[in-house]
């Protein structure tokens, strides 16, 4: 069974939890920082609309949020990294099908957390860029309603003139590594097709929980 270990399914809720620049600003933010902030602000704009609470208009809002999330994440990169070394053993068709079902799982898990948004406060605390400039980690700290501070870091890479998130760390727990551990457990005794089926089933389970 694919489990939501630790805080892996808190990721979408924290991602959508209100990443506004509350507090000290970061001087001369990088393009990656700007892309992250701009996209999250678009999500916030949708979350704050009263239509989200209305059954007749809720799905339209969720659809717009889904499209915004799609622009922020590189689901192809996420898929390859979560599978790890075994990715090279997937056929082109298996890779496509896995990306499709894993993207659906991440989307549904994200949408499941929308009702938990309570305007949490977030501060961008800095960023670290690789020597070659091809990787950036944008770091934030989220202050929850109970005053607990949660560090969240977004690992990003450039592609097609913009920057995409390829991993998120919540309290130093990596989304990619968390899923990779689970997927490797399945691949150790099963096939890529079996993994795809398991991920698809989990995505359907989350979708049903979302009432869709």
Residues 56-106 pLDDT 10s: 998 898 889 888 888 899 999 999 999 999 999 999 999 999 999 999 998
pLDDT at position 24, please? 40
Residues 15-68 pLDDT 10s: 544 333 333 444 568 899 999 888 878 887 888 888 888 889 988 988 898 888
pLDDT > 90: percent of the chain: 47
- For 185-191, the CB contacts below 8 A with 24+ separation are 186/2, 187/83, 187/86
Other C-beta atoms closer than 10 Å to the C-beta of 202 total 21
Residues 144-167 pLDDT 10s: 777 888 898 999 999 888 999 999
Task: Identify the residue whose tokens are 């890479």.
Answer: 157
> What is d(CA 105, CA 111) in angstroms, rounded to the nearest whole number?
10
Lowest mean pLDDT among 3-7, 36-40, 135-139: 3-7
Q: Burial letters for 162-175: b for 16+ Cβ neighbours within 10 Å, e otherwise?
A: ebbbbbbbbeeebb
Mean pLDDT of 164-171: 93
Find the radius of gyration of the CA atoms of the chain.
17
Please say whether the beta carbons of 171 and 151 come within 8 A.
yes
DSSP codes of every residue in 119-147: --EEEEEEEEE-TTSS-EEEEEEEE-TTS
pLDDT at position 6, please? 35
């Amino acid at each position: 069974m694919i489990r939501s270990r630790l805080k892996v399914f808190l990721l979408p809720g924290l991602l959508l939890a209100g990443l506004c620049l509350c507090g000290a600003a970061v001087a001369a933010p990088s393009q990656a920082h700007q892309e992250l902030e701009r996209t999250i602000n678009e999500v916030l704009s949708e979350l704050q609309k009263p239509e989200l609470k209305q059954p007749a208009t809720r799905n339209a809002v969720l659809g717009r949020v889904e499209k915004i999330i799609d622009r922020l994440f590189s689901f192809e990169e996420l898929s390859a990294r979560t599978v790890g070394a075994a990715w090279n053993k997937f056929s082109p068709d298996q890779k496509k099908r896995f990306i499709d079902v894993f993207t659906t799982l991440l989307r549904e898990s994200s949408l499941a957390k929308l009702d938990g948004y309570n305007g949490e406060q977030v501060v961008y605390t800095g960023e670290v860029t690789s020597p070659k400039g091809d990787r950036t980690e944008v770091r934030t700290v989220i202050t929850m309603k109970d005053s607990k501070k949660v560090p969240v870091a977004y690992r990003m890479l450039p592609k097609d003139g913009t920057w995409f998130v390829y991993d998120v760390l919540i309290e130093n727990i990596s989304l990619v590594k968390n899923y990779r551990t689970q997927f490797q457990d399945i691949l150790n005794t099963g096939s890529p097709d079996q993994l795809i089926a398991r991920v698809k089933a989990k995505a359907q389970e989350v979708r049903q929980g979302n009432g869709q």
